[in-house]
C-alpha cells in the first residue's frame, strides 16, 4: 500500500501559542507527530506549514515540509495546496494526520490508507471507536458517527446518537447497545477529491454542527469508516494537554 501522510501545521493557536513548535522531549511537537506517522509505512511524510519557522524546525530534524498560504480557512484547504505542490496524482492515497497528535497510532494511520484501496466506492476514509463512558456520549465536544451496513458514514454529529425512541425524561443513565461510536479526526483521501473538496460549497449541516466532514456527505460522496477497538493517545489542545503528553514521553524514556 503506497500512500502519503500530510500533516497540516498552523503556528497560530489561541489556547497554545506556537503549538507545532512546543517542545516534547527535546523535539518540536510537529516533528514528534511526523515520526509517529512514519511508523505507519507511508511512502513519505510531509508537513504542510503556514510559517517558515515550522519548515525550518522540520528541516533541522530531517522531516520534509512545504510552506503553504497563511490564508487557508481549514486544514483541508492547506492539504489541497500541499497536494498541488507535491504533484500528487489524482488517485494517490493521502492520510491527513493532525499536527497536535504526537501519540497517534501508526497502525490507525495505515488502516485509513488501506480502506481507500479496499473501498473504491468511497472518496474518503476515517476512523472511530466505541464509546464506553456516559459523559463522552453526552459531551458535544466528542463527535459521534453512525454507519450503514457497509461501514460507511451516514452522519457525524455532536449530539448523543443513536437515541432511544422515547428518550429519557429522567436523564440518561446508561449507554445504548450496541455502543455508540466516537469519531476520530483522522482522514484518508484520494488526492483528486482532496483538491476538489475546497471548491464544494459548505453544507448547511456542516455550518450548524461545525463539522467539515458533513460537506462530503451533503454533496453525495461516501466516507468509509474503520472501527478501532480503542481510542488514540491524547492530543494537545491546551497547556494541560501538553503537560500530560510530556509526562508520557518522559515515562517512555525512563523505561528504556
- Joined together, the cell numbers standing for residue 15 give 489556547
Query: What pLDDT score does 117 carry?
Result: 93
Query: What pLDDT score does 147 carry?
Result: 98
How large is the average pLDDT for residues 63-69? 95
Cα dist. 58→46, 48, 67, 194 in Å? 9, 11, 11, 24
The CATH code that applies to domain 3-255 is: 3.90.550.10
What is the distance between the terminal CA atoms of the chain, rounded to a whole angstrom? 31
User: Residues 103-112: pLDDT tens digits?
Assistant: 999 999 999 9
Torsion of CA 138, 161, 193, 92, to 10 degrees: 80
Query: What pLDDT score does 254 carry?
Result: 87
**Stated pTM of the model:** 0.93
Of 23, 80, 92, the closest CA to residue 48 belongs to 80
- Joined together, the cell numbers standing for residue 24 give 516534547
Domains in the chain: boundaries: 3-255
Cα dist. 207→98, 140, 181, 237 in Å? 21, 15, 22, 22
User: Residues 184-216: pLDDT tens digits?
Assistant: 999 999 999 999 999 999 999 999 999 999 999
Query: What pLDDT score does 165 carry?
Result: 80
Residue 256 reports pLDDT greater than 90: no
Amino acid at each position: 500500500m503506497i500512500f502519503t501522510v500530510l500533516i497540516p501545521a498552523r503556528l497560530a493557536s489561541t489556547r497554545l501559542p506556537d503549538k507545532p513548535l512546543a517542545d516534547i522531549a527535546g523535539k518540536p511537537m510537529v516533528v514528534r507527530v511526523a515520526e509517529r506517522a512514519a511508523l505507519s509505512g507511508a511512502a513519505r511524510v510531509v508537513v504542510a506549514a503556514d510559517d517558515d519557522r515550522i519548515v525550518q524546525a522540520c528541516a533541522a530534524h530531517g522531516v520534509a515540509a512545504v510552506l503553504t498560504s497563511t490564508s487557508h480557512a481549514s486544514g483541508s484547504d492547506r492539504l489541497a495546496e500541499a497536494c498541488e505542490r507535491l504533484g500528487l496524482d489524482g488517485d494517490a492515497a493521502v492520510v491527513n494526520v493532525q499536527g497536535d497528535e504526537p501519540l497517534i497510532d501508526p497502525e490507525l494511520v495505515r488502516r485509513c490508507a488501506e480502506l481507500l484501496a479496499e473501498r473504491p466506492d468511497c472518496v474518503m476514509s476515517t476512523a472511530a471507536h466505541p464509546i464506553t463512558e456516559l459523559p463522552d456520549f453526552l459531551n458535544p465536544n466528542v463527535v459521534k458517527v453512525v454507519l450503514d451496513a457497509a461501514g460507511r458514514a451516514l452522519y457525524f454529529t455532536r449530539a448523543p446518537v443513536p437515541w432511544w425512541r422515547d428518550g429519557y425524561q429522567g436523564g440518561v443513565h446508561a449507554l445504548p447497545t450496541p455502543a455508540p461510536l466516537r469519531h476520530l479526526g483522522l482522514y484518508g483521501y484520494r488526492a483528486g477529491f482532496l483538491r476538489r473538496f475546497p471548491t464544494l460549497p459548505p453544507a448547511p449541516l456542516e455550518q450548524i454542527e461545525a463539522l467539515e466532514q458533513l460537506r462530503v456527505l451533503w454533496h453525495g460522496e461516501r466516507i468509509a469508516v474503520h472501527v478501532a477497538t480503542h481510542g488514540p493517545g491524547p492530543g494537545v489542545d491546551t497547556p494541560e494537554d501538553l503537560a500530560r503528553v510530556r509526562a508520557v514521553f518522559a515515562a517512555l524514556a525512563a523505561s528504556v
